[in-house]
Amino acid sequence: MKLYYMPGACPLATHIVLEWIGEPYETQAVERKALKEPEFLALNPVGSVPVFVDGDLVLTQSSAILEYLAEKYPQAGLMPEDIHARAETRRWMGFVHSDLHKSFGLAFGKAAFSSESAVQDAIAAGGIAKARQLFAIIDKQLNGKDWITGTRSIVDPYLYTIIRWADALKVDLSDLPNVVAFRDRMNSDAAVKAALQAEGLQA
């Protein structure tokens, strides 16, 4: 198994899951300019990470990779067996992947929408405002829980990765105590520490 990533980007979620699973894997950091080079485009024509290779299988999109790993290694307990619990896990994966991630896409990718700085700032601010609304929903969901669905799943490292983006952009989450507590628990997790260190994000 091999994971292509950029440090701190969404592949961090897969990196953490690979650590949780505990099976041998490789990683390869990819520079931004290399994303559009023919060698990488042969793996992912979109020119983005993550790319995950397992034998002849080449997967893109974090949600697909994470669910594949959960199903390949059920002993890790990252996807429930009960059909209702599985649906709930997929629901929150969709929320994080399609809604929360997208809001930060506006902040990080503002230059793609306009060349005018004032418009870019407005786009970024709109994305952050939407993210704040979504984090408030997550804070309620986390009330009384250590994990987003109540048990550890593939959703948690993805959520944690995006919380790190909020911290990087200095988005104030201090009024969301359950989100802050979740981040702190993940920060203290040995597998999370290992993935961060491997990506050069933690000494």
Segment 171-181 shows an average pLDDT of 97
CA dihedral (162, 163, 167, 173) positive or negative: positive
Q: Name 51's bridge partners.
A: 4, 60
CA dihedral 111, 112, 115, 120 (to 10 degrees): -50
Q: How much is the pLDDT for 117?
A: 87
> Which residue has 């890790």 as its token pair?
76
CA dihedral (79, 91, 16, 13) positive or negative: positive
Segment 154-176 shows an average pLDDT of 97
Listed range (34-48, 78-92, 112-126, 131-145) with the worst mean pLDDT: 112-126
Tell me the HSE value of 46 on the side-chain side, using a 13 A CA sphere. 7
Phi-psi region of 168 (alpha: psi -120 to 50; beta: other; left: phi over 0): alpha
Q: How much is the pLDDT for 140?
A: 98
110 compared with 40, residue with greater pLDDT:
40
Q: How much is the pLDDT for 46?
A: 94
Q: At what angle do helices 117-141 and 101-108 cross, to 10 degrees?
A: 160
Domains for the chain: give ranges and CATH numbers. 2-76+193-198 (3.40.30.10), 83-189 (1.20.1050.10)
Give residue 116's pLDDT band: very low, low, confident or very high (50, 70, 90).
Answer: confident
75 compared with 119, residue with greater pLDDT:
75
C-alpha to C-alpha distance for 11 and 50, rounded to whole angstroms: 5
Q: How much is the pLDDT for 191?
A: 97
DSSP one-letter code for 5: E
C-beta of residue 22 within 8 angstroms of C-beta of residue 195: no
Percent of the chain whose predicted confidence (pLDDT) is above 90: 87
Structure tokens at 180: 């802050």
